[in-house]
């Protein structure tokens, strides 16, 4: 449940970097995603074909403030996105480091506070830092989107213990892994940890077969969620035989 909206699927898909509009359209359909992200920069360069794909997808649009480096820039971009796309949903990105694209926590919290006060439903791109998460919740965010790894890196979940701690610390807050997912197995792992959804772009858009990869991620997310809800077996330090000793033949 995200800001009162219940989704049937737990994979969110980005719309940048696809080889062609046709492959983007097919990948969205294959993924089963109900939420797709896009930026104002993409809207400005995609042309009529791109806009038609977005319109016909039937998906809920989650505009983002990609490329913003200050709170002021992000807030202005969010306001423009609301006017252009007709939605209060916004994926809030405020980049603080040019190489890792790690979010600036101070500017992120500042922008989140302003946008939440203006009625936006803010999806903040953040790290697994618990204090930053608390401040974002205090600012009015009802969802947190921690990174798995730097954007576009494909490294998966680099800080498993930090992400586990975040899930435990915010048991009732929807958490979405955003950025760094490069393989379906990594998406499954995120869902097995108890995260509510996964948002990715590059792993599908840059695949040799984006449509097949979108389908693979859809199945991976579903598998991870089902595994989590079914009850994963705990890890043990020692082996434990699956066949009982009782009843075995005794040889003289």
User: Catalytic one among 55, 91, 135, 206?
Assistant: 91
Helix runs in the chain, H state only: 21-31, 40-57, 71-85, 105-117, 130-139, 160-169, 184-192, 202-205, 210-230
Name residue 36's beta-bridge partners. Answer: 13, 61
229 alpha carbon, distance to own chain's centre = 19
Sheet of 60-64, strand order: 145-146, 121-126, 89-92, 60-64, 35-39, 11-14, 197-200, 176-178
Name residue 61's beta-bridge partners. Answer: 36
Cα–Cα–Cα angle for 124, 128, 134, nearest 5°?
A: 65
Cα–Cα–Cα angle for 39, 118, 67, nearest 5°?
A: 25
Burial annotation 119-143 (CB, 10 A radius, 16+ → b, else e): ebbbbbbbbbeeebbebbbebbbbb
DSSP string of 175-212, one letter each residue: BEEES---SHHHHHHHHHTT-SEEEESHHHHTSSSHHH
Known catalytic residue at 135: no
3-class SS of residue 42 = helix
How many residues are listed for the chain in this entry?
252
Residues making up the annotated binding site for 1-deoxy-D-xylulose 5-phosphate are: 152, 179-180, 201-202
Residues making up the annotated binding site are: 152, 179-180, 201-202
Give the catalytic positions in this structure.
Answer: 91
């Amino acid at each position: 449940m995200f800001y009162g909206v219940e989704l049937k699927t737990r994979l969110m898909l980005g719309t940048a970097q696809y080889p062609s509009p046709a492959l983007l359209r097919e990948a969205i359909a294959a993924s089963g995603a109900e939420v797709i992200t896009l930026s104002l920069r993409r809207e400005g360069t995609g042309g009529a074909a791109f806009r038609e794909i977005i319109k016909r997808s039937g998906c809920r649009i989650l505009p983002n403030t990609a490329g913003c480096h200050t709170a002021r820039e992000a807030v202005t971009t969010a306001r423009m996105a609301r006017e252009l796309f007709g939605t209060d949903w916004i994926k809030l990105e405020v980049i603080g480091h040019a190489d890792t694209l790690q979010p600036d926590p101070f500017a992120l919290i500042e922008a989140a506070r302003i946008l939440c006060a203006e009625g936006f439903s803010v999806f903040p791109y953040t790290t697994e830092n618990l204090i930053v998460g608390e401040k974002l919740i205090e600012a009015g965010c009802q969802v947190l989107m921690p990174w798995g790894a730097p954007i576009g890196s494909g490294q998966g979940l680099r800080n498993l213990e930090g992400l586990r701690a975040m899930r435990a610390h915010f048991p009732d807050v929807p958490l979405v892994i955003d950025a760094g997912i490069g393989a379906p197995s990594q998406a499954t792992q995120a869902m097995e940890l108890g995260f509510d959804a996964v948002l990715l772009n590059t792993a599908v858009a840059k695949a040799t077969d984006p449509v097949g990869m979108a389908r693979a991620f859809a199945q991976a997310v579903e598998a991870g969620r089902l595994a989590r809800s079914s009850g994963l077996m705990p890890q043990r330090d020692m082996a434990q035989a699956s066949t009982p000793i009782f009843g075995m033949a005794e040889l003289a």
